[in-house]
């Protein structure tokens, strides 16, 4: 039954008067929840019902509805049955309160659901914003690091050192940029293969006469230039493969690259 058929059926009048069977009343209550035309119709019937109950004369538009309600109630306007109106008024008020309360509850539940959805969207947006801000900051930092490294490489006191692959590791290579005035070395290890599991590459500063290696620490595979503090009197650089975490002295059998400062 569609909305207009339900309005024309007379069930809404019976519903307001409490004359419907419980099962049918429940069906109409469900139908009212999201149906504004039905809600308005019930409101009109309730208002007319209240007028009828307290003896207010109907308007021209309300005469037909008055007649329907009187027929349902089985009541004329005589004073003899005035006391029975209290039951109908109470019932109508209860229906109105029940309907209104249900309507408000439904709308409040919908509002809470919408608020929760909106809050979740806001949280997601904040998280995405935070991630984006982090990415932007990381990009900005990477650009700053690149600019700093580029400026360092261009300085007249910075020497470029090519570290060539050694026996057994001929395809490996690395590049160091060393500035003895600033005691800083930048290292490019993009030409090294990935270190095996449980192993680490280690950078060594070398003096040649006598030959003396000094560790500059473990270096990770990276496509970025690695900045290393170097206060040593470096004459050459070498990179070996050591046990994970590095070693106190170089394993010359795992000497991957070596280069002398010109």
Residues 140-162 have a mean pLDDT of 86
DSSP code at position 57: P
Q: Is residue 109 scored above 60 in pLDDT?
A: no
The residue among 27, 9, 2 whose CA lies nearest residue 68 is 9
Neighbouring CB atoms inside 10 A of 262's CB total 7
CB 45 within 8 A of CB 10: no
Map out the domains of the chain as residue ranges: 3-121, 159-260
243/196 Cα distance (integer angstroms): 10
Q: Is residue 180 scored above 80 in pLDDT?
A: yes
Q: Is residue 17 scored above 50 in pLDDT?
A: yes
- Give the residues across from 177 on adjacent strands: 160, 186
Residues 171-188 have a mean pLDDT of 94
Q: Which pLDDT score, from 0 to 100, does residue 60 have?
A: 67
- Binning pLDDT at 50, 70 and 90, where does residue 236 land? very high
Residue with tokens 């003096």: 207
Q: Is residue 235 scored above 50 in pLDDT?
A: yes
* Kind plus residue range of the DSSP H or E element containing 33: none
Neighbouring CB atoms inside 10 A of 16's CB total 28
48/186 Cα distance (integer angstroms): 90
The residue among 180, 227, 183, 237 whose CA lies nearest residue 205 is 237
Residues 178-190 have a mean pLDDT of 94
Length of the chain in terms of residues written: 262
Q: Which pLDDT score, from 0 to 100, does residue 165 have?
A: 95
Global pTM? 0.50
The 8 Å CB, 24+ separation contacts for 62-68 are 65/13, 68/10, 68/13
The residue among 24, 23, 25, 67 whose CA lies nearest residue 45 is 67
Q: How much is the mean pLDDT over the chain?
A: 80
Residues 72-81 have a mean pLDDT of 50
Reported CATH class of domain 159-260: mainly beta
Tell me which of 31-40, 93-102, 153-162, 245-254 is least confident: 93-102
Between 180 and 96, residue with greater pLDDT: 180
Residue with tokens 């932007």: 136
- Binning pLDDT at 50, 70 and 90, where does residue 163 land? very high
133 prior amide bond cis, ω within 30: no
CB 76 within 8 A of CB 18: no
Q: Which pLDDT score, from 0 to 100, does residue 187 have?
A: 94
Sign of torsion over alpha carbons 134, 138, 144, 148: positive
Burial class of residue 250 (count of CB atoms within 10 Å of its CB; 0-12, 13-18, 19+): buried
Tell me which of 41-55, 71-85, 141-155 is least confident: 71-85
């Amino acid at each position: 039954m569609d909305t207009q058929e339900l309005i024309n059926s007379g069930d809404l009048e019976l519903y307001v008067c409490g004359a419907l069977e419980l099962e049918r009343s429940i069906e109409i209550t469900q139908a009212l929840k999201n149906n504004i035309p039905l809600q308005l119709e019930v409101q009109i019937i309730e208002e007319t019902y209240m007028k009828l109950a307290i003896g207010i004369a109907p308007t021209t538009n309300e005469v037909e509805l008055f007649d329907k309600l009187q027929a349902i109630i089985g009541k004329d306007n005589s004073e003899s049955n005035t006391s029975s109106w209290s039951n109908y008024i109470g019932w109508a008020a209860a229906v109105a309160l029940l309907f209104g309360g249900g309507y408000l509850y439904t709308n409040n539940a919908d509002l809470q659901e919408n608020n929760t959805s909106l809050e979740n969207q806001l949280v997601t947006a904040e998280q995405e914003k935070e991630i984006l801000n982090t990415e932007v900051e990381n990009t900005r930092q990477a650009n700053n690091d690149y600019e700093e490294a580029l400026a360092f490489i261009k300085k007249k006191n910075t020497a470029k050192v090519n570290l060539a692959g050694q026996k057994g590791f001929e395809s490996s290579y690395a590049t160091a940029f060393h500035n003895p005035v600033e005691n800083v070395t930048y290292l490019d290890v993009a030409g090294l293969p990935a270190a095996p599991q449980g192993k680490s590459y280690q950078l060594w500063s070398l003096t040649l006469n006598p030959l003396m290696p000094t560790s500059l620490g473990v270096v990770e595979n990276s496509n970025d230039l690695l900045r290393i503090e170097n206060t040593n009197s470096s004459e050459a650089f070498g990179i070996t493969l050591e046990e994970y975490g590095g070693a106190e002295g170089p394993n010359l059998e795992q000497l991957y690259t070596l280069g002398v400062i010109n």
